[in-house]
Amino acid sequence: MRSVRDVAEAAMLAVPTKASILNVAKWVSDRYQDLTFDTRLRHLRRVGELKVDADITAGTVTTTTGSNIVVGDSTARTAWDDLGGGWGFRVEDYWYDVAGTDSNGDLILSADILETGDSGLSYVLANRYLKLPSEARKMNHFYQPRKEKFLERVSMEYLDHNYPKRKDVKDTASYWAEHVSAEDGSKQIEIYPYLDRDELFRYVYWVQPSTLGLDDLIPEKVPPVALKEGVIVDILRFNAFNAVKNTGEVDVAGLFRNDYRAQETKWREEKQKMSWVDTGSEDKTVVVRPLNHYGSSLREIRTAREDIYDRDGTY
């Protein structure tokens, strides 16, 4: 396994430069970040578990038009104890985000109620927006073990167009979509239909790569030669800028520009290779496999067709 220093020195040997070793080492780290942004490398892959709470319909509520307070009866208030984030409230057609509860145990909504207020109303509280670990930067393959089922990934626009009122509550979900990020930057998703029982989902996500220092090792699955090709782009850019700034050699700078543009093509090719070689073709099976070790009732793969689907989801 080679270090950042090794890659930096190899690039400086390939293209002589006046840039310092520390600058070139930073470019190595930047190219590593760039590479992982466009690909889903296995050494950054994790398997997560997400608990989704069942919808809440216990008791009745009183609402007032133009107010953001929902008053619950004693049964409802008991059911609302320890509400976390991401809950939505509905009595008729509109969903309102729940901001929290007040000192009486009643709901505080993020917006005032538009519908006609009344007392003794039935309602639904759904665990709509689900927050993922802060380290997750990409995610996929949400799996419902109890149903042995992968959810279909769709956009929020798809859900809004096809299910604008989101009134379905079932014992299984069908879709997941990425929602806007939470205030702290964490990813959030919506799973639909909403669930009438507590449910556990498994999924794959990729973490943000760490910044590499001069003497840090390059992760095992990342070929140093690929990073070197990217760093050479940065060296050529530096050389072009340096030629104009310090010596006024415009013609020389032009040659460097031509070189780094050609080198950028090589870098894109290296990234494409990585997307073929190390993008975890088993991303779907890695979600399922751990369950088998604990006696899950998942059916066995019996045909070549099932094996292909299990590995990458295509035929």
Q: Which residue has the tokens 């994790």?
A: 46
User: Predicted confidence band at 296 (pLDDT cuts at 50, 70, 90)?
Assistant: very low
Treating both helix axes as pointing N-terminal to C-terminal, what angle do 224-242 and 4-14 enclose, rounded to 10 degrees?
Answer: 50
Beta bridge partners of 50: 201
Structure tokens at 131: 């927050």
Q: What average pLDDT score do residues 201-212 get?
A: 93
Name the DSSP class of 243.
Answer: I
pLDDT tens digits, one per residue of 90-126: 999 999 999 999 999 999 999 999 999 999 999 999 9
Structure tokens at 202: 């498994």
pLDDT tens digits, one per residue of 138-156: 999 999 999 999 999 999 9
Amino acid 293: pLDDT: 38
In this structure, the chain runs to a length of 315
10-to-16, 209, 239, 257, 306 alpha-carbon distances in Å = 10, 23, 16, 21, 45
Domain ranges of the chain: 4-41+219-277, 46-52+129-208+281-312, 61-122
Contacts of 84 (CB under 8 A, 6+ apart): 53
* SS3 state at 302: coil
**Strands 96-101 and 129-131: what pairing?**
unpaired
Q: What average pLDDT score do residues 81-90 get?
A: 92
| H runs (alpha helix) in 60-204 | 74-79, 156-162
> Of 81, 107, 84, whose CA–CA distance to 95 is shortest?
107
User: Predicted confidence band at 163 (pLDDT cuts at 50, 70, 90)?
Assistant: very high
Amino acid 253: pLDDT: 63
